[in-house]
Chains A and B, each alone.
Chain A
């Protein structure tokens, strides 16, 4: 190409920011009803919308032994029949007022959430009351949702990304740990679930004292509280305490496993190990450390794998924050023939993170990003409701969101190095690749220093 630029003008010099305007996370108030039901309300009057999230302490980690998936099934079944209305009728009631309810359970909570025009809030909340207090769990719908979950699991067998996630969890946790299996249960456990188990789980976990109603948007504290008292004040029942389930890690050794997908044009790669529980005291150091390593687009791992080598469309790392220690995962998808090289670069970046302090420039890139982007994260009523739900689920300090930006800015290069040295464990890495064993097994074995396991998507070992 010629050196002549298209335009002959001279570009303006790089501008400087003006003075920042202050931002406060939306003010919210809490209340507790005499029956133990809690209420969190954040009035935000920008558009005539309200987001409501009912948070119930009924996540997958509260399931009893041998009932994997009952939490998710119970939450979904709330929408399939309640207070004399069948699932189709409930759906119609929600949709007629321009909304739809999402009900699901993840590890730490079951949630029912919706966003609705403020004027429709009473009708919507009355329906939420029916779901939470008077679900019917009809046998036909129990059978249908089990079948749909089994269909979904079958579907995931052919989906390299989901397959990689599932095999990675199994590689990171001991087989006895609840976190080893999917939150929604696997095929074997889902088949054993019954309407009776669902009803019992509901009776134990869905109670006023385990439930918090979160409101964010065009609603006053008085109006929200009035509606909640009217609809929930006479809800009775004591929850039974959940059985704490183990979150044991697999043995602290390295492991390399290939999930065979013959002729795959690309390898789905997961590298990592057990991470930290959400309320770990190093939360901020670990968050900034992760941002530099692989959390940002301009992180070390993404710049290395994508921008320097062109191995991938993207490479990222994350701590998955749960009440128990969730996984720390580095993930990417790379062209099959560079799988070994890409994993080598990932291991190199982990080592580099642990062996020397990051530069001040890298630190400020991460901290000023996390600091500056904070208001952008809470532009929608649904995002504010989710943030407040997390406050409830993890029992975070009342001023967590007010102090978040200051805490991020206080992280130092020493803190990041310490977090890397204490919370990244090169000797315990689990390396899981969904890809073509003929192409990837040998280079991975070279890096691993030992033969790699090769398994089928179903998990059976095959001869390497």
Chain B
């Protein structure tokens, strides 16, 4: 699967990626800013995400609730999201509305600050604090979002702290923070603009130049602290969390090769062998055969600096104790590391991943997002066209080499959720030990 890709740069440093597809009269506009929670300063956890909300509150030529309204009135869909190392904003619109989408994005990249008010900030702070309650505080297991990175990255590391932020840090965010963050990070030379779908190439280039060309380059952003980490967690690490849950659930994380590296693909295939779909080892062994688990899956964070994380996520059946669950998952990891994987297992995983890669290119929005991803992280959007080949190049030997190097006891971090009422003396002790670490 190859999709057409053209990349060029404006004088102000904005990287532009174009990918034409005329099957339907719609077009996706997608902007990645190379800033995320990792760039937050101490005492301002959650700010990158709060700032993302503020970008929907209007700009010099756009009223308070107008951004959403203009796109929806045009018949488009839109949203944005914040991650550890990037923030994205995107809309898919009927192709005759391409200029509206570009104009909206350019207006907030170039002229956001005149629209910022204390009242808007206060309201979005409330909204975000409710988002935190909804996604974490009032949700079983919800705190894993901030506990797992906190367990796997040392306190000084930019990936350690909470993405959604603490209530008190959110309370502290001010309009001065908005101005500073905007001026530092929301500049054309810190962004990638991708356009995918039904557009005319020359016309799109003209519109991009017209709307984004006049926006001046930034003054550069402060470098992140050294992200380098030892290959191993130096563990095993373990944290037991009593929570309002009925079933124990284990997140078992390993530091793993960064996204984009040759060895990332072996790690990703290893994760798929362990936890992608029902034919994976964890599902077959723990859910189907031994019936110890209700669900099992694996995923990677896809981080490009410092270290990636490979995570196994397994929920117990009601009759399985947290100790049994934990033992059973470790046994599967040990077995894979000691005995290795077969070529058939690699083939199953790679074939499934390849289909998923193609399925993910069906919609213009997903396509544009992938282009922005590769352009932002590696400066090369065309890498989207070689992902299948990189997965196909993975062999059982490479997966086994990864497993030997990275799945040992010293590189395992367990985040174990247990029902609050069954916390007995022994888990309390473990908790105290985890807390003391």
- B-contacting residues of A (Cβ < 8 Å)? 1, 3, 5-7, 9, 11-15, 17-23, 46-49, 87-88, 91-92, 94-100, 115-117, 144, 147-148, 150-152, 154-155, 157-160, 264-266, 268, 296-298, 303, 306-313, 333-335, 364-365, 368-369, 371-376, 378-381
Interchain CB contact under 8 A, B126 and A376: no
Q: Are the CB atoms of B347 and A96 closer together than 8 Å? A: yes
* Min CB gap A314→B, angstroms: 8
In the complex, per-residue mask of B111-139: 1 if CB is within 8 Å of any chain A CB, else 0:
11110100000111111111101110111
CB within 8 Å of A: which B169-220 residues: 175-176, 178-179, 182-183, 198, 210-211, 214-216
Query: Which residues of chain B come closer than 8 Å to A17, judged between CB atoms?
Result: 74, 94, 96-97, 99-100
CA distance A256 to B355 in the complex (A): 48
Per the 8 Å Cβ criterion, residues 276-320 of B in contact with A are: 277-279, 284, 287-288, 291, 294, 315, 317-318
Q: How far is the CB of B75 from chain A (nearest CB, A)?
A: 1
Q: How far is the CB of B150 from chain A (nearest CB, A)?
A: 20
Q: List 25 A-B contacts (CB under 8 A).
A: A1-B179, A7-B111, A9-B215, A11-B60, A11-B110, A12-B103, A14-B100, A15-B99, A15-B100, A19-B96, A47-B1, A95-B278, A98-B354, A147-B317, A157-B246, A158-B246, A265-B137, A298-B65, A298-B69, A306-B127, A365-B73, A372-B93, A372-B97, A373-B75, A375-B24
Closest 4 CB pairs between A and B? A372-B75, A310-B126, A21-B25, A98-B355
Is B76 among interface residues, defined by CB-CB distance under 8 A? yes
| Residues of chain A within 8 A of B96, CB atoms compared | 17-21
| B95 contacts the other chain (CB 8 A) | yes
Number of cross-chain contacts by CB at 8 Å: 240
A265 to B26 CA separation, bound complex (whole angstroms):
42
Give the chain B neighbours of A48 by CB distance below 8 A. 1, 358
**A96 touching B348 in the complex, CB below 8 Å, given contacts A154-B318, A158-B245:** yes
Q: Which candidate, B227-235, B322-330, B333-341, B360-368, is the interface stretch facing chain A?
A: B360-368
Extra pairs beyond A1-B175, A95-B279, A155-B140 (11, CB < 8 Å):
A6-B183, A11-B110, A14-B103, A46-B362, A148-B287, A160-B138, A307-B65, A307-B127, A310-B126, A368-B73, A376-B94
Q: Is the pair B25, A23 in contact by a Cβ cutoff of 8 Å? A: yes
Instruction: Using known A-B contacts A266-B133, A375-B25, determine if residue A303 contacts B92 with beta carbons closer than 8 Å.
Output: no
Least distance between B45 CB and chain A CB atoms (Å): 18
How far in angstroms is the closest Cβ of chain A from B217?
11
Q: Which residues of B contact A (CB under 8 A)?
A: 1, 21, 23-26, 60-61, 64-65, 68-69, 72-77, 92-97, 99-100, 103, 106-107, 110-114, 116, 122-131, 133-135, 137-140, 175-176, 178-179, 182-183, 198, 210-211, 214-216, 244-247, 277-279, 284, 287-288, 291, 294, 315, 317-318, 347-348, 351-352, 354-355, 358-359, 361-364
A230 to B68, CA, bound (A): 50
Give every chain A residue within 8 A of B244 (Cβ-Cβ): 158
Interchain nearest-CB distance for B374 vs A (Å): 19
Contacts of A12 in B (CB 8 A): 103, 106, 210-211
Residues in chain B near residue A381, CB distance under 8 A: 362
Q: Smallest CB-CB separation from B247: which chain A residue?
A: A155
Known: A158-B245, A380-B363. A15 touches B103 (CB 8 A): yes
With both beta carbons as reference points, the residue of chain A lying nearest to B137 in the complex is identified as A265
Asked if B351 and A96 sit within 8 Å, CB to CB, the answer is: yes
Return the chain A residue nearest B350 by Cβ.
A98
Q: Decide: A115 and B359 in contact? CB cutoff 8 A.
A: yes
B355 nearest CB across to chain A (Å): 4
Partner of A380, one of B68, B294, B348, B362: B362
- Which of A7, A94, A298 interacts with B216 by CB under 8 Å? A7
Establish whether residues B133 and A296, one from each chain, have CB atoms under 8 Å apart when the complex forms. Answer: no
Contact, CB under 8 Å: B351 / A313: no
A11:B107 contact, CB within 8 angstroms: yes
- Say whether A151 contacts B139, CB under 8 Å: no
Residues of chain A within 8 A (CB-CB) of B359 are 49, 115, 380
